[in-house]
Amino acid sequence: MSLSFHNSSATKVYPSPDKAKKKKQPPFYNTLIKQVRLWHWVSAALFCVAMIFFAATGFMLNHDDGIFAPHMTTTQRRANIPPQLLASLQQPLKEMSLSKPIKDNGDVDWSRLTANEIHQALPDDVSKWLKENNFPVRKQATWTKDFVYFMAPKLGGREKLLIERDNGHLHYEYTSRGWIGFADDLHRGSGTNAVWKLFMDLLAIACLVFSISGLWLLQVHAKKRPSTWPLVIAGVVIPIIIIVMIFHS
């Protein structure tokens, strides 16, 4: 009977050079990476639609004199302030300077350009009458020797109201800029309320969180993607070059 012997020694497995070189990161670093990723995707999830909206309306604003020029429509109304309210409109103004904005040598004195106007509230009885007749009212109006008026932005348009102080003739005009003007005003916050402006502030904070966390994640993966930092530098340098060209044009 013959006996056969086999070499049963186990084969040793050595780690690959890449794994051997890879350093084990401390637990805090791994936790930080997870948090940064969490902030990155949460900020994107909450405000990605708003980011698309503001990017689109920003593009529209850049071309508001061309393909995205708003369609203007104007509505006018006329009325007469009741005679019993004329005394309130004809009250002496608090202060009035009749200095001319043009100097003797022909230069413009910009500080005097609006010297013939003062800003003060409308009389209470006039404000009440305007509200009762569906006219807009503002806290402050511009007063001149002959007129009292105000111009105010309204979401998607602009409204103007002027009253002749001597006879009470009222002129109201509302200019609508259509849906394009509506979207543009939302982008700028013009004619909106405090809640929308708060939303814009939160969106700005979310964009900062998204961008800063994105930069951190770029740094984490930059070793595997050599083009990362050249692209980031290009994104910084190109706008600077354009700005310099604007100043020297």
Question: pLDDT value at position 161?
Answer: 94
For residue 247, give both structure tokens. Answer: 């100043």
pLDDT (tens, 9 = 90+) of the chain, 249 residues, equals: 454 545 555 555 555 555 545 566 677 778 888 898 999 999 999 999 999 999 999 999 999 888 999 899 999 999 999 999 999 998 887 765 555 555 566 665 555 555 567 888 899 999 999 999 999 998 889 898 889 999 988 999 999 999 999 999 999 999 999 999 999 999 999 999 999 999 999 999 999 999 999 999 998 888 899 999 999 999 999 999 999 999 998
Same domain, 113 and 67: no
Contacts of 98 (CB under 8 A, 6+ apart): 115, 116
Hey, what amino acid is at 192?
T
Q: Do 188 and 161 belong to one domain?
A: no
* Residues 91, 172 within the same domain: yes
- Whether 11 is in a domain gets the answer no
Cβ neighbors of 177 (< 8 A, separation 6 or more) are 70, 71, 72, 156, 157, 158, 184, 185
**Structure tokens, 237:** 């340098």
Q: Which residues pair with 174 in a beta bridge?
A: 75, 159
pTM tops 0.75: no
CA neighbor of 154 nearest in space, from 172, 140, 136? 136
Residue 237: is it exposed, middle or buried by C-beta count within 10 angstroms (0-12/13-18/19+)? exposed
Q: Do 198 and 183 have their domain in common?
A: yes
Structural domain span for residue 131:
73-176
How many domains are there within the chain? Answer: 2
Task: Tell me whether residue 19 is in a domain.
Answer: no
Q: What is the pLDDT of residue 116?
A: 65
Query: Do residues 105 and 148 both lie within one domain?
Result: yes
Asked if the structure places residue 153 within a domain, the reply is: yes
